């Protein structure tokens, strides 16, 4: 049997997720996991109760493929309240299995082989395989440390007649950058000039600090029909394992996205969609508390990492800290992170996994702080060994 024959050329082009690999390495090593972005504290009690009640009430069969109506209505209402966006829940919302599915379903629905898609580097690692799976040609725009800003001329040059879409993740993983309205307006103008879509991953919309403001590109004049919002319950409601997300797009785009979604997954878990209605109906104070909850953890981890000798880039949003590790004298980020996991007892993500190769990111490591204070303190305590060694 020729095993190679059974590996499609699509899958041969990418490796397993480095972030999820770090989680697997952390478990047998007993390392504190500051790699993968999931909370180690409980989800909100009333949300868990709503899920239990939905199962007891026998909401246990296939949902309507694009999402139960009460959830689509609650999503539309939330965008009206928060951003003044009027969304038609019947024709413009697709409930999906997390942003992960939302992004890949959107790209499969809109991008053809050879179309160009612009995105930023460093990037959330899923975008690379997503683009390979739909045959897109990726064009990368650099986000420059320490503020992770981009060069407008470079962005303008990246656009061409072949540009199908731009992917923007704001607030940004891994850099913590919150894109300014001016930057988004600049990109939006190019999307209009070149007739391109703007797909925005807004999963950290409520996790913002120091007065930063999240602007959905869809609210920018001229972008209502051209922007696609990808989002989920994972981060705002601390339920990354529930796998409930949504895509908001103009009706013609939604038609295609729903087709892909239907045949990929049929639907997100029905009882968890019912609980999602309660999540969408949370008052503003819920999101204020969420941001406060995380700003304290951000400052805590910034202090612990600095004390352990890391040079930190302070994030304005999301729940990750990028660090420069050059002062530790390791040849590369992967060697450093393996040392961290096995000898120090803390897992993090090698920076190179957010870059396209050529040694980029090889002196960068990302830590997440969506953890209990005692977990962060335990990690901080262990990290002190780095300078003592």
Ligand X SMILES: Cc1ncc(COP(=O)(O)O)c(C=O)c1O
Binding site for ligand X (CB under 6 A): 37, 98-100, 124, 169, 173, 201, 203, 232, 234, 240, 245
Rounded to the nearest whole angstrom, what is the least distance from the CB of residue 98 to ligand X in the complex? Answer: 3
Q: Which residue's CB comes closest to ligand X?
A: 98
Residue among 173 and 362 whose Cβ is closer to ligand X: 173
Shortest Cβ 381–ligand X spacing (Å): 26
| Smallest distance, ligand X to C-beta of residue 100, A | 3
Q: Report in angstroms how near the CB of residue 362 gets to ligand X at its nearest.
A: 21
Alpha-carbon distances, residue 218 vs 71, 181, 198, 224 (angstroms): 20, 12, 9, 5
Cβ proximity to ligand X: between 14 and 328 the closer is: 14
Contact yes or no for 319/209 (Cβ under 8 A): no
CB nearer to ligand X: give 34 or 308: 34
Q: Smallest distance, Å, CB 352 to ligand X? A: 17
- Closest to ligand X by CB, 163 vs 232, is 232
Return the HEC string of 117-184: EEEEECCCCCHHHHHHHCCCEEEEEECECCCCECCHHHHHHHCCCCEEEEEEECCCCCCCCCCCHHHH
Cα separation, 179 vs 71, whole angstroms: 28
| Best CA proximity match to 94, nearest among 108, 80, 76, 112 | 76
The Cα–Cα gap between 67 and 103 comes to 16
Residue 124 to residue 62: CA distance in whole angstroms: 31
Residue number, 234 or 363, with CB nearest to ligand X:
234
What is the C-alpha to C-alpha distance for residues 362 and 220, in angstroms, rounded to an integer?
Answer: 36
Q: Which is nearer to ligand X, 124 or 310 (CB)?
A: 124
Question: What's the min distance (Å) between Cβ of 6 and ligand X?
Answer: 28
| Residue 322 Cα to chain centre, angstroms | 15
| Least distance from ligand X to the Cβ atom of residue 307, Å | 27
- Rounded distance, CA 39 to CA 62, Å? 28
Cβ closer to ligand X: 99 or 344? 99
């Amino acid at each position: 049997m020729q095993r190679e024959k059974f590996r499609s050329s699509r899958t041969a082009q990418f490796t397993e997720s480095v972030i999820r690999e770090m989680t697997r390495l952390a478990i047998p090593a007993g390392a504190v996991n500051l790699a993968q972005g999931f909370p180690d504290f409980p989800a909100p009690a009333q949300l868990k109760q709503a899920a239990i009640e939905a199962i007891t009430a026998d909401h246990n069969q296939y949902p309507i493929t694009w999402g139960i109506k009460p959830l689509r209505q609650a999503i539309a209402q939330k965008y009206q309240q928060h951003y003044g966006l009027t969304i038609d829940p019947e024709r413009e919302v697709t409930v999906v299995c997390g942003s992960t599915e939302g992004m890949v379903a959107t790209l499969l629905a809109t991008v053809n082989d050879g179309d160009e898609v612009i995105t930023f580097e460093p990037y959330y690692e899923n975008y690379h395989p997503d683009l390979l799976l739909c045959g897109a040609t990726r064009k990368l725009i650099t986000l420059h440390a320490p503020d992770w800003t981009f060069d407008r001329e470079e962005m303008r040059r990246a656009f061409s007649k072949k540009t199908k879409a731009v992917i923007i993740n704001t607030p940004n993983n891994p850099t913590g950058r919150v894109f300014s309205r001016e930057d988004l307006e600049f990109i939006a103008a190019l999307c209009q000039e070149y007739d391109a879509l703007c797909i925005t991953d807004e999963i950290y919309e409520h996790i913002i600090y120091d007065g930063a403001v999240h602007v959905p590109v869809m609210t920018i004049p001229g972008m209502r029909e051209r922007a696609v919002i990808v989002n989920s319950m994972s981060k705002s409601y601390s339920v990354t394992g529930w796998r409930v997300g949504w895509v908001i797009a103009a009706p013609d785009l939604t038609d295609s996205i729903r087709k892909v979604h239907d045949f990929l997954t049929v639907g997100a878990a029905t009882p968890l969609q019912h609980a999602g209605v309660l999540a969408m109906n949370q008052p503003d104070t819920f999101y204020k508390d969420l941001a406060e909850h995380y700003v304290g953890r951000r400052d805590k981890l910034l202090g612990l990492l600095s004390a352990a000798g890391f040079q930190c880039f302070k994030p304005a949003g999301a729940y990750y800290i990028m660090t420069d590790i050059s002062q530790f004298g390791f040849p590369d980020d992967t060697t450093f992170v393996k040392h961290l996991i096995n000898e120090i007892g803390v897992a993090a993500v090698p920076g190179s996994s957010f870059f396209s190769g050529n040694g980029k990111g090889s002196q960068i490591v990302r830590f997440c702080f969506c953890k209990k204070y005692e977990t962060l303190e335990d990690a901080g305590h262990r990290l002190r060994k780095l300078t003592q060694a």
